[in-house]
Structure 1
């Protein structure tokens, strides 16, 4: 391992996330494929190697600092973009069955290529709007954990993500800035979509003076009402707020 990989490994060991040399090598392949494809399409504004390891890989794995991943079997990642946080979580916890939903087919093509290069089994990459896919029987009220990273405001994310989440499963909203206002705004959508706010975990990314992260944990308390999610585009235009 070179110095960047060694430091990455050390930071994760401190959080009791233990990676093998093979898993470390998978993250390096991930980095190289990400940078290569980023020249052809806009996947990320962060391409400097050390910053990718911190702001994408470590940040994605921070979910596992607070959630017992051994207790999760299947996860869905909504609006995954370049595969964050689900692909880093899959690398670190190979037992996970991962479903990724993204509305841009080019990103799905990238993710299919990436999972092939990483030799990952048990990853499905689905092209479509979350509002449409969540109405399909094979995805509704199904997943132990659903994630969304920097996709939209929480009131919108609840409608995107809670229909995928199984009863007593978790929706994890990964946020950067302070989230108090978003939580207040999202209270009505949580009630409507059978979500219960559990906790907000806060952390600072290593070696970053200003990179604060917030992970909002929500529990699904009952099956999603048939009227949700509303048709594609509606949650963004008219969020469930009062």
Structure 2
């Protein structure tokens, strides 16, 4: 948790309690359903929580925004973002049912009123539009954008983030070229100068 507090200082007592509860909760769930690798569970706050919050460091999400976390896995980046932005609505989906079970258990234990979940693939989501899609290393940018585009509400104003924001790593030149997108990229290492974040980026497509 110290790693997170190094970069974010102004949490409410409730947020602080929720963030601190993540460690024990994920440990407990991971013993039942393995969603985080054994070596990563010890570095949960750096490799999962702080990594997720890189999105919060580059995008201010106004209250009332509807955000889809596509392929949320064990709840990242959606759960940390939902704690960080309590006025924003998050819908966390994953095609693997046992992962969604963990997400539901964590959200319920934290009493996160702004989180809904679905055991679903992106292409199965019907009759719903979102302001923003977030995702972490789920698929190539080309695929992420083609899944996200039909789900994004049209006519976003300049002051509201809209489109796709994903967390990616490595050399992305070819992936970006194949996607046909012109994303804005932020080097996470410049936000959080920890060794783990070298060659990791926040990639935003409007």
Q: Shorter-chain TM-score: which interval?
A: 0.7 to 0.9
Q: What does 1:178-189 correspond to in 2, within 5 Å?
A: 178-187=171-180
Asked if the contact 2:70–2:92 (Cα under 8 Å) also holds between the matched residues in 1, the reply is: yes
Q: Quick check: 83-92 or 160-169, which moved more?
A: 160-169
- Residue segments in structure 1 that go unaligned for 5+ positions in a row: 191-196, 220-242
Bigger radius of gyration, 1 or 2?
Answer: 1
Q: Does 1:82 align with 2:74?
A: yes
How do 1:3-22 and structure 2 match up within 5 A? 4-5=1-2, 7-13=3-9, 18-22=10-14
Matched with 1:172 is 165
Counterparts in 2 of 1:173 and 1:210: CA distance versus 1, 3 Å: closer
Q: Is the 8 A contact 2:95 2:121 kept in 1?
A: yes
Deviations 1:128-164 (A, max 9, x none): 111111xx11x2xx21111110101111111222222
Alignment TM-score, normalising by the size of structure 2:
0.88
Separation in 2, partners of 1:182, 1:71: 32
The counterpart of 2:41, out of the listed 15, 35, 47, is 47
- Give secondary structure in 2 for the equivalent of 1:39: helix
Q: What does 1:66-81 correspond to in 2, within 5 Å?
A: 66-70=58-62, 73-81=65-73
**Residue in 1 that maps onto 2:205:** 218
Structure 2 match to 1:234: none
Give TM-score scaled by structure 1 length: 0.75
C-alpha separation in 2, matches of 1:218 and 1:71: 21
Secondary structure of 2:41's counterpart equals coil
Q: What SS is found at the alignment partner of 1:143?
A: coil
For structure 2, the 5+ residue unaligned runs are 157-161
RMSD: 1.7
Distance 1:60 1:209, change over 3 A: closer
Whether the aligned pair in 2 keeps the contact of 1:146 and 1:172 (CA below 8 Å) is yes
1:33 lines up with 2:25 in the alignment: yes
